[in-house]
Structure 1
Amino acid sequence: MSYDLAGKRAYVAGHKGMVGSAIVRRLESEGCTVLTSERSTDLREQSAVREWFADNQPDAVVVAAAKVGGIFANDTYPAEFLYDNLMIEANLIEAAYRNGVEKLLFLGSSCIYPKMAPQPIPEDALLTGPLEPTNEWYAVAKIAGIKLCQAYRKQYGVDFISAMPTNLYGPGDNFDLANSHVLPALIRKAHEAKEASADSIEIWGTGSPRREFLHVDDLADGAVFLLKKYSGEEHVNLGSGTDLPIIELAQMVCDVVGFDGSITKDTSKPDGTPRKLMSGDKIAAMGWKPKIELREGIADAYRAFLAGEGKQ
């Protein structure tokens, strides 16, 4: 089954974020009209979302809007991470159904999987064990989004699908050290250390946890691929298929940035999940794979940081 985006009205919720803006860029080559809503439309408010859908009548929807952040942000604002994300996804999915949307793609996160999931993580590992405590609030909200798409699909026969991206990075990222993810935080730390002629930068934890990273432009390409080619109840992993220890990531970032100092470890800080590599077998079997190598992608993200593209 295929879905032709040409001539359609495609709404990207969260278009000003790193993921949403990348999907907007990617959709521009599909011959569709890309719709966006201004920040004045509070996606947490049901009436505002219903009014926007009634006025704009999109044919396809990508749910890329979410409250996101790293370990510190998740641990500090658990109520906001759970409530805001539940409201955003529920309002968008319900409004899409009520207004006859033909295709909807809900984007989740790899943190939906159990802390000790098998590696690489297959899609059917969902709900097979306890979550990582440091981001369980966000994970529970994203799991609810998957289940909501499945429920609407089962009850109403709508073509609502879900994809689970791995750790993302690239232009438009959040480089704020207080609430960013690990890769943009490392880019900023290494840059500021280079500028200050510092002797070292510090990373959280032991540096041993392994993480997988996908450039946001690859994610956007994979998302559009699924919109066009996939129709099924089960969510689909979207990742790079490779991972590396955080300490090696830090060394690669320092090399790209041009910081030649040392890397110290604050072992009083949490490591998070020991490893989180997702299986990409399902989408690979459909004919899709990422194109951007990690070092090339980090260089692109650093260029974006220097240009002020993203939250500083």
Structure 2
Amino acid sequence: MKYSRIFVAGHKGLVGSAVARVLEKSGADVVTRTRQELDLTDQAAVRRFMADVRPEAVVLAAAKVGGIHANDTYPAEFIWNNCIIQCNVIDAAYRSGVSKLVFLGSSCIYPKFAPQPMREEHLLTGALEPTNEWYAVAKIAGIKTCQAYRRQYGFDAISLMPTNLYGPGDNFDLLNSHVLPALMRRFHEAKVSGAPSVTVWGTGNARREFLHVDDCAHAIVWCMENYSGEDFLNVGTGQDLTIREVAQAVARVVGFTGELVFDVSKPDGTPRKLLDVSRLDALGWRASIVLEEGLVGTYRWFLDNICCLRTESRFDGS
């Protein structure tokens, strides 16, 4: 079922902005609010907004996010902000008569030592990764909130768990970004400065899955229109690459021709992190943007929006 008036919560973020682009191209009436216009941690404000605007559907992409350091330093903020945002939006959407809500989580919800590839039934079968458990617990609570409102009230709230995302609008800060945008920026700075090499942490043998944010946005819209179920769904490519292969692909796209040095004294992290996407595949949706194609567009966005800013060349894997 298609919806014409859709509230995208978190439209300034990587995923929310991509969802808004896809919906706008389809002709939908996309409703957005900045944090200054609507504080999603304010229950009364969220209820007033939903009652006044009355969207047909809601995409809940708003969240407090951050890296390992932020999760470790501000655990109370991570669990409180995310839980309260989720509860406020889900409850207000139900109370105002919203027909469909899509809640977005993360693959970090799975146990640290979950079997690979990770299937939906692996949730809550083991201990979480300690460095991001506050965020993960909040996202698990979001899944359970959607399931509870479906069971008790018949509210059509679904949950999707995307894998590692990249693309236009990503965070390229060297201290806080994820591996792919960090590599892109380092390779770019090395090319510009003429540096002979770039150092990458670890052996390069760890395997990771990457999904272009536009593919993710299309999956979100597709599921909003075609899926209504209590079980959450993994969203990814179902394929992974070694960090070495990813680094080589980024270097090719950027045009860095120097040496890649892998610092084996640094940790690899989890050996593998891959989602099993067989449920979503069986329903009829599959990712279509191959990594190198997605990297080309991402690098173009980086050149147009980021590289003009003052940067410092850092090649120590930080």
Q: TM-score range by the shorter chain?
A: over 0.9
Report what 2:117 is aligned to. Answer: 120
| 1:4 correspondence with 2:2 | yes
Cα offset for 1:267?
5.1
Question: Could you tell which deviates more after superposition, 247-256 or 105-114?
Answer: 247-256
Report what 1:252 is aligned to. Answer: 249
| 1:238 correspondence with 2:238 | no
Cα offset for 1:275?
1.1
Change (3 A) 1:132 1:192: same
| 1:218 correspondence with 2:215 | yes
Report what 1:155 is aligned to. Answer: 152
Q: Which runs of 5+ in 1 are unaligned?
A: none
Match of 1:27 among 23, 26, 31: 23
Deviation per residue, 1:173-221 (Å, 9 max, x gap): 1111121111111111111111111122233333332110000000011
Change (3 A) 1:311 1:208: farther
* TM-score, length basis structure 2: 0.91
| 1:282 correspondence with 2:282 | no
CA distance in 1, matches of 2:303, 2:81: 31
Residues 166 and 239, structure 1, Cα contact 8 Å, conserved in 2: yes
Deviation per residue, 1:45-83 (Å, 9 max, x gap): 222222221221111000011122333443343333222
Deviation per residue, 1:14-39 (Å, 9 max, x gap): 01111111101111243421110122
Report what 1:129 is aligned to. Answer: 126
Report what 2:313 is aligned to. Answer: none
Match of 1:37 among 33, 38, 49: 33
Residues 53 and 95, structure 1, Cα contact 8 Å, conserved in 2: yes
* TM-score, length basis structure 1: 0.93
Change (3 A) 1:59 1:242: same
Deviation per residue, 1:211-265 (Å, 9 max, x gap): 1000000001100110011010010111011101112211211111111222334
Change (3 A) 1:221 1:126: same
Report what 1:272 is aligned to. Answer: 269
Identical-residue share of aligned pairs (%): 62
Report what 1:188 is aligned to. Answer: 185
Change (3 A) 1:258 1:140: same
Change (3 A) 1:260 1:73: farther
Change (3 A) 1:82 1:261: farther
Match of 1:177 among 165, 174, 178: 174
Match of 1:308 among 300, 305, 309: 305
Specify the SS of the correspondent of 2:8.
strand
- Letter in structure 1 aligned against 2:141: A
Cα offset for 1:293?
0.3
Specify the SS of the correspondent of 2:305.
coil
Deviation per residue, 1:117-176 (Å, 9 max, x gap): 121111111111111222222111111110110011111110000000000000111111
- Letter in structure 1 aligned against 2:26: E
Report what 2:45 is aligned to. Answer: 48
Aligned CA RMSD, in angstroms, stands at 1.9
